[in-house]
Every structure is written in structure tokens, then in C-alpha cells.
Structure 1
Amino acid sequence: MNPDELFDDLADALAPRGAVAGAMFGKRALKAGGKAFACLKGDVLAVKLGDGTAAHADAHALTGAELFDPSGKGRPFKDWVAIPVSHADQWPHHAGIALDGLG
């Protein structure tokens, strides 16, 4: 499956919990209560997990995962982890935690 299809599936799965599709930095994003918690950029899903949390450490430990740098100019968001499509099976888990963190 391509990243857009995976994102659509994720959006559908999280919709019952209040997630809605939107945009962030011109990219597809998931939001709840007007706040973004996940963003698709190319073939990575960035999720807001909170710097210093166990969830952040777990996601960042995945092979190829890195801090999310939406500008690509070396200014990453410390609370966000970009998880590559090679770990798409982990996207729902981490996006769910990010959604929980908004509350």
C-alpha cells in the first residue's frame, strides 16, 4: 500500500475517536480539537509524542525514524517523530498515543 492509502486507513480508524483529516504545513494531517497530532510527509508519518516520553523514545528507536523536520532545514520539532513507511504497521499505535496526548 502507498503512504496515502495507509494514511486514509489511519484517518478512518481514528475518526470514531474524534480525529479529522486536515492540513499542516501544506501536508495531509490528522487533527482533533483543532490541534494536529499526525502529519504525512512523503513516505513518513510524523506523530507528536512529546519529547522525553517513553512513547517518543519507542518511536524514535525504530530503524529510520528521526525527529520531524518539516522545513528540511535542520530545525526539527523535538516533540515529533517521523516514522518511515517501512514501519507503517506501527503508525496506528503511535498515532493513537499522539491522539491520546492531546487530551
Structure 2
Amino acid sequence: MLYIGKLCLKYEGKAFASFFEEEMVFKLSGAPHANALQLAGAQLFDPSGKKRPMKDWVQVPYAHVESWMDYAEAALNQLREAGA
């Protein structure tokens, strides 16, 4: 599936994770969002590069590839709980 022209994971038509510039991007809130932003090199996702980040989306560098599955699961669970 595609989201903003990039490969992504979707649940019931809504994106919750995407691959962007060799990094993963996750739609998160609450503790998972805060924890992801604590990772070295992680940042709010700014696909335009114009300093207008998407507040719910966190870009996690490849250096933390071992945590990508955990954040993907957290993002999917949050989407399911929200009722997609």
C-alpha cells in the first residue's frame, strides 16, 4: 500500500507505519510516541522538509531496527483501539 507516495502498512485503509529514506515512520500517541522520540536520531516526521512535522508520526532511524516491530505493533494497536 502507499501513503504519501511511500510504501506503508495500513489497517482498514488507514496508514500506521511507513518506510521513508531508509528509516521507519510510525503513527503513535502517548507513551509509545514519547518513548520513540527518546531514541537517538528519532524525530517527528517532516516529509516535506519544510519544518512542518506531522505531530503524530515519529521517524525512527535504522540504528534502532530492533525496535521497529514493537513500534509497528504499538501503532497498529492504537489504530485498532481508536476504531480505525
TM, length-normalised to structure 1: 0.75
User: How many Å separate the matches in 2 of 1:49 and 1:59?
Assistant: 9
What pairs with 1:1-103 in structure 2 (closer than 5 Å)?
Answer: 22-50=1-29, 53-103=30-80
TM, length-normalised to structure 2: 0.92
Name stretches of at least 5 consecutive residues in structure 1 with no aligned partner: 1-21
Name stretches of at least 5 consecutive residues in structure 2 with no aligned partner: none
User: How many Å separate the matches in 2 of 1:83 and 1:61?
Assistant: 10
Q: Helix, strand or coil: the match of 1:101?
A: helix
User: With CA pairs under 8 Å and 6+ residues apart, which has the higher RCO, 1 or 2?
Assistant: 2
User: How many Å separate the matches in 1 of 2:23 and 2:50?
Assistant: 17
> Size of the alignment, in residue pairs?
80
Q: Runs (4+) of structure 1 moved beyond 3 Å? A: none
Residues 54-73 of structure 1: per-residue CA shift (max 9 Å, x gap): 11011000000000011111
Q: CA RMSD in A?
A: 0.6
